[in-house]
Copies of this chain bind each other. A is one copy, B any other.
Amino acid sequence: MKFKIKKLSTQTRARTGKLETARGVIETPIFMPVGTLGTVKSLSPEEVAGCGAQIILGNTYHLYLRPGCEVIDRFGGLHRFMHWDGPILTDSGGFQVFSLARLSKISEEGYTFQSHIDGSRHILTPEKSIEVQLCLDSDISMCLDQCIQYPASRDEVAAALELTTRWAQRCFEFWEENRRPQNNLFGIVQGGMYPDLRERSAAQLAELDFPGYAIGGLSVGEPIDLMRELADFTLPLLPDEKPKYIMGVGTPEDLVELVALGADMFDCVMPTRNARTGQLFTGSGNLNIANARFREDTAPIEDGCTCYTCQHYSRAYLRHLYKARELLAYRLNTIHNVHYYLNLMADIRAAIKADEFIKFRKEFYRKRKPST
């Protein structure tokens, strides 16, 4: 994997780059749609690509439990199994064990937990996490980290980051021994809301010289200002020549702000999950398609939007489908939202290339929060 910075904003820390993987080139900054169970919910891979996706995310915890590695092994990895031949980034499974699994316990060895589906018992060690991700033939694997709740005491956070560093070492070693050339591995900086612990974590991980670095433990319930403050502090601690990924973030406003602080990669369930509850993103703000005011509205979700949904369907039709709980509703809404996110990233990249990021951001906020 090669990462090349193409353009540095002179106005902010924003930057564009090219991340070259064996399965395709990713232009950064980029948003990665979430495909939890081997499908970006409700979309075909062709639709995901049509929305502008260059890389998608898969969830190791979910895929490990269902359908399981022995199934995906038959296909030589997740790509052929799900009919997506572009790059895939997989998380480590740690966050889902922390947030979804039953009776999860942590030790030096790893996590023990019971499946949220059938209660079956499992152990997720750093080595096991990488083994599963290599079975998925993930283009970018993530190290297993210890996730903790917010707020957490300084001692808890410090202990978690130290364990995360030891696990990163184990992940790195297992990966080096077992990887194929196309498999890359990112380290995850922890440290909660304590800047000095973020600094310690970043310094420890930098020694392993990962192909890329992520910031974990943000967007876990803390106030938005604190999240951005920590990102502002932590992003410059990561090696500038490596891609910088902020995990699980965020709103369109978050993406614009975090790009300005130097982030290159994002993932979030927001565009897909919100689509399924009828919340649609537009440049002039979000709308709830179930609203009665759209009942006879022949306009598309957003004038000028080039997504498949806006090209062919009205708000009235989308409201009708949504109210009737028709399956097509979720797909058409998701197409629009994913397209919105990826189009926003394309606009961000164009603004950075033109070195007009500040102007772009001002315009973005002016439109997103109309005074009328």
Contacts and interface: CB of A to CB of B under 8 A. Distances in A.
Interface of A: 37-39, 41-44, 66-67, 70-71, 74-75, 81-83, 295-296, 298, 312-314, 316-317, 319-321, 323-324, 326-328, 330-331
A74 B298 contact: yes
A320 B37 contact: yes
Given A39-B326, A43-B328, A298-B75, A317 B66 contact: no
Q: Is the interface of A mostly helix, strand, loop or mixed?
A: loop
A81 B328 contact: no
A316 B316 CA distance: 38
A82 B298 contact: no
A296 B327 contact: no
B327 A42 contact: yes
A326 B75 CA distance: 20
A317 B45 CA distance: 13
Given A81-B316, A81-B317, A82-B317, A74 B327 contact: no
B296 A71 contact: yes
A331 B327 contact: yes
A320 B74 CA distance: 14
28 contacts: A37-B321, A37-B324, A39-B327, A39-B328, A41-B327, A42-B328, A43-B328, A66-B320, A66-B324, A67-B316, A67-B320, A67-B323, A70-B296, A71-B316, A71-B320, A74-B296, A74-B298, A74-B316, A75-B298, A75-B314, A75-B316, A81-B314, A83-B312, A83-B313, A83-B317, A327-B327, A327-B330, A331-B331
